[in-house]
Amino acid sequence: MSSEIRDEKKVVLITGGGIGIGRATANAFGALGYRVIVTDVLEAEGRAVAAAIEASGGAAEFHLLDVRDSAACNEVVSSVEKRYGAIDTVVANAGIAHKVPLSELTDEKWDLTMDIDLKGAFRIIRAAVPGMKQKRQGSIIAVSSIMGVAYGWDEHAHYSAAKAGVVGLVRGLAVELGRDGIRVNGLAPGFVRTAQALSEQHSLGAAGLDAVGSKIPLGRAGEPEDMADVITFMASEKARYLTGQTVTVDGGLVIQSH
- How many CB atoms lie under 10 A from the CB of residue 70? 15
Active-site annotation holder among 34, 84, 151, 159: 159
Give the separation between CA 206 and CA 123, rounded to whole angstroms. Answer: 33
Distance, in Å, from the CA atom of 136 to the CA atom of 8, rounded to the nearest integer, reads: 16
Based on the residue annotation, tell me whether 34 is a catalytic residue of this protein. no
Query: Can you tell me the distance from the alpha carbon of 138 to that of 185, in angstroms, rounded to the nearest whole number?
Result: 11
Q: How far is CA 200 from CA 71, 159, 195, 238, in A?
A: 34, 17, 10, 39
* Helix 119-135 × helix 157-177 angle, to 10°: 10
How far apart CA 58 and CA 230 sit, in angstroms, is: 20
d(CA 160, CA 158) in angstroms, rounded, equals 6
Residues marked as catalytic? 159
